[in-house]
Amino acid sequence: MSSFYIRLYKDSDYHIVRDIFARGIHEHTAASFRRTLGLPQVWIPSLVVTWLPLLVTGCLFMSALAVTIILGLVWSLNRYIYTSYVSFTLRDDMLDIENYYLHREDRCFWVAESAGEIVGTVAAAPLLKTGEEKQMELKRLSVPRRHRGKGIAQALCRTVIDFAQRCGYKAVVLDTSMIQISSWKLYEKMGFRRTHYCYPDHCFVRYIDFIDVHYRYDIPTQE
């Protein structure tokens, strides 16, 4: 059984934490690309564009070139979503992690460590919505691929839930993407329930059907 413990983030973790986050997001590009290729609004036009040069010119090279261009475009669209999200986040709350999460009320950032190596990250921050009950957002959950299946992600999620409960919050909320099935299973196993789906704010996400999935965990009321 894997031996790890969870502790507060410290400044010496900065570069490895940002790297774990970025790698964890970028690794979804390939799965998203494969899913996109199976969408009717993508493969039907692609099929037409692929065969049209062959039928009109009889040139196999032009047809192969069309396939290459289409695949490159679809890959680039999927990659752009992830790279732009990583770029924004690294300039936002993960630019100065200590000040953003450890020096502000009801916020925190933890890492999981094993044998001197950081093997997971997670953060918590209030969901800033006016006029609603107090909700804590679970953010920046990431475990490197080689350390998955050891209970690290589950322990990090539990850390956020316990933190939210101590701070007097009624629920923990989070969002993930349509392709992250393993994340769905983790959250639902822990008692999160799926609440809704939505498209991110990108002009082309509906075309490639990139959907965010939102979850909520209701914190039991203490007697």
For residue range 185-196, list pLDDT tens digits in order: 999 999 999 999
Identify the domain containing residue 171 by its residue range.
Answer: 1-223
Look at the block and give the residue holding tokens 């804590």.
136
Residue 205, exposed/middle/buried by CB under 10 A (0-12, 13-18, 19+)? middle
Q: Confidence band (pLDDT; 50, 70, 90) for 174?
A: very high
Q: What is the pLDDT of residue 213?
A: 96
Q: For the whole model, what pTM was predicted?
A: 0.90
Q: Give the residue-averaged pLDDT of 161-184.
A: 95
pLDDT at 30 over 90: yes
C-alpha dihedral sign at 36, 42, 48, 50: negative
Element (H, E) at 176: strand 171-177
Task: Taking residues 154-181, report their average pLDDT.
Answer: 96
Report, as an integer, the average pLDDT of 40-65.
79
Of all residues in the chain, what percent carry a pLDDT higher than 90?
Answer: 74
Number of helical (H) and strand (E) elements in the chain, helices listed first: 7, 7
- pLDDT at position 49 is 76
Q: How confident is the model at residue 20 (pLDDT cuts 50, 70, 90)?
A: very high
- We report the CATH number of the domain holding residue 110 as 3.40.630.30
* Number of domains composing the chain: 1
Mean pLDDT of 190-214: 89
Which of 43-52, 78-87, 131-140, 186-195 has the lowest average pLDDT?
43-52
> Which residues are within 8 A (CB) of 146 and not within 5 positions of it... i.e. 6 or more apart?
none
> Which of residues 109 and 134 earns the better pLDDT score?
109
Helices (H), the chain: 14-26, 29-37, 40-57, 60-91, 97, 152-166, 181-189
Choice between 134 and 59, residue whose per-residue pLDDT is larger: 134
pLDDT reported for residue 34:
94
Judge whether 172 and 191 are in contact, CB under 8 Å.
Answer: no
| Beta-strand relationship, 171-177 and 135-142 | parallel
Written as six digits, the tokens of 107 are 């916020």
Report pLDDT digits (tens) over 94-132: 999 999 999 999 999 999 999 999 999 999 999 977 567
- What span, in angstroms and rounded, lies between the C-alpha atoms of 111 and 101? 13
Is residue 63 predicted with pLDDT exceeding 80? no
pLDDT for 127 equals 92
pLDDT of residue 42: 84
